[in-house]
Amino acid sequence: MRRWFPLTAVCLGTFMLLVDVTVVTVALPDMVRDLDASFGAVQWVVDAYALALAALVLGAGAVADRVGHRVTYLVGVVVFALSSLACGLAPGAQGLVAARAAQGLGAAAMFATTFALLDGAYAGRDRGAAYGVWGAVSGASAAVGPVLGGLLTEGVSWHWIFFVNLPVSAVALGLGARTLPAGRPAVGGRVDVGGVVVFAVAAGCATYALIRAAEAGWSDAVVWAAAGAAAVLLAGFAVVEWRVRQPMFDLALLRDRAFVAVLLAGLLLTFAAFAPLAYSMIWLQSVLGLGPVGAGLTGLPMSVVAFVVSAVSGRALHGRRPGLVIGGGLLCVGVGSAVTAVLVRGAAGWPALVPGGAVIGVGVGLATPALGAVAMSLVPAARGGMAAGAVNTCRQLGFAFGIAALGSVFAAGAPGGRQARGVADAAGVAHAVAGGRVSGLLG
């Protein structure tokens, strides 16, 4: 039984950091009222965390390869716990957004080390089983978030969606310190600070451009300035990584078609499966009048199916062609999204989300564990943090870009959606169902 303690420690951290991607979605209306926030501010409560996680996880992986995966993971747990406390105590929207960004920093340190820690702790079929369980937790966590958020928001207050992280962090920290493998950090390595900074700023500019477009429209000069800056900075990042002796990301990996395919699959999986959840929650509460718990429970079929499929597939599909597994998972996500888009029409109620959500859960359960296993198999063990960071960067950028891009569609379908109070006003949001339908189709 003790051999599974490292897996438990890693899964606790994964559960927390992924739950916090979506846990705030059902609390958005309450936050708007309590914090007197605008639609843009509400988007940033979601996106500040996803953006920080996406922008920093690649750099965190490079740091972990230099200083050690266990140390990086445990420091990430501490940062995540302290920033969760700050989120719960935040007196206003700006403070909450800042604390959410700090949460993303801690989450990046945890997320970037998960694959390397599992590879160091397990081998053979045990490794396949560990990836399966981790994938089950990972795939189900984001869908569990709305349910947990609804229970806490409706039963206590939205502040407790952050306070609940504290006891879980304490268990993860204690268990991880005792059982996680220490590993062997690279000797004499130097952190690519320039690459970390340039990539983080580039990701920030790109996501800001999408969020700004939701409020000001695509004709806004600031939108195009931010998008142009992102493009220039990404080109600069490639130059920096090409010239530095110890790059944060080895560009030679981009010549490996299998690795590139894993990166694209991670981005598309998260964009399609999880980004539409935020707008589904707004639609369920503001249009259909469901409470936070009721809205959150609509995601339960997806969560349960993802958990079961991933837990079973990890050991059962060990040694099978991973490309077929990942491709099959993405196909299921696409089919589930199409089913949702067809069923959510006119006077459709919450049951219209269930069939498509279940099919999406199958896809998430198949693809999630395979992504990590394939990425780690393509690089040396000493570069595990970089590989994990690259895959998880694409996954979180998929969510951050998805939230921003679908926000543009959602706001465009709502009269007054570009004004500050469009989402807070239930009457105004009732018209946003058209935007919600398009968001579901794009997802």
| 212, pLDDT greater than 80 | no
H helical segments located in 90-123:
93-111, 114-121
Report whether pLDDT(187) > 60.
Answer: no
Instruction: Compute CA 64 distance to the chain's CA centroid, rounded to the nearest angstrom.
Output: 20
Whether 315 shows a pLDDT value over 80: the answer reads: no
Report the pLDDT averaged over residues 174-203. 80
Quote the pLDDT of residue 143. Answer: 63
The span from the CA of 114 to the CA of 63, in Å, is 14
Q: Quick one: average pLDDT of 135-164?
A: 81
Closest by Cα among 303, 357, 294, 302 to 151: 294
pLDDT band at 214 (very low <50, low <70, confident <90, very high): low
| Per-residue tokens: 85 | 């406390």
Q: What is the pLDDT of residue 441?
A: 32
Among 175-179, 312-316, 376-380, top mean pLDDT goes to 175-179
Residue 52 vs residues 110, 192, 322: alpha-carbon distances, Å: 13, 18, 30
- Going by pLDDT thresholds of 50, 70 and 90, the confidence category of residue 56 is confident
Counting residues of the chain whose pLDDT is more than 90, the rounded percentage is 22
Between vectors from CA 112 to CA 399 and to CA 124, what angle results, nearest 5°? 110
Instruction: Supply the pTM of this predicted model.
Output: 0.76
Q: What are 206's two structure tokens?
A: 């790109």
Residue 408 has pLDDT above 80, yes or no: no
Q: How many CB atoms lie within 10 A of CB 130?
A: 26
Residue 14's contacts (CB-CB under 8 Å, 6 or more residues apart) are 110, 111, 114, 134, 137, 138, 141
Tell whether the model's pLDDT for residue 189 goes beyond 80: no
Six-digit token string for 273: 């499966």
